[in-house]
């Protein structure tokens, strides 16, 4: 537990003593990260499996069938 406290204090002191422009940059980075990973992800990558299949079994069967199709296509292409 002592090592976790040392790590926490290392980062805490570093951010506390950071110049104003450094804190501003970290704020911009965190806002951009939020936009990219939360907002853009939800707009451009909807949950296809949850919307098209009702149960976990149907979802898993679909994924397995798609993997098998891809595998078969890959072996056909690589043999020629």
Domain extent listing, the chain: 1-45, 47-80
Percent helix / strand / coil, the chain, rounded to 5 = 85, 0, 15
For 11-39, what is the mean pLDDT?
A: 91
pLDDT-wise least confident of 7-11, 48-52, 69-73, 74-78 = 74-78
Dump pLDDT digits (tens) for 28-66: 999 999 998 888 888 887 788 888 899 999 999 999 998
Q: What is the share, in percent, of the chain residues with pLDDT greater than 70? A: 90
State the pTM of this model. 0.50
pLDDT above 70: residue 80: no
C-alpha distance across the termini of the chain, in Å? 59
């Amino acid at each position: 537990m002592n090592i976790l406290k040392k790590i926490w204090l290392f980062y805490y002191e570093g951010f506390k003593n950071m110049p104003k422009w450094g804190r501003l940059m970290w704020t911009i980075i965190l806002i951009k990260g939020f936009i990219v990973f939360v907002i853009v992800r939800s707009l451009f990558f909807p949950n296809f499996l949850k919307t098209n299949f009702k149960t976990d079994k149907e979802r898993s069967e679909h994924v397995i069938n798609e993997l098998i199709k891809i595998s078969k296509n890959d072996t056909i292409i690589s043999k020629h």
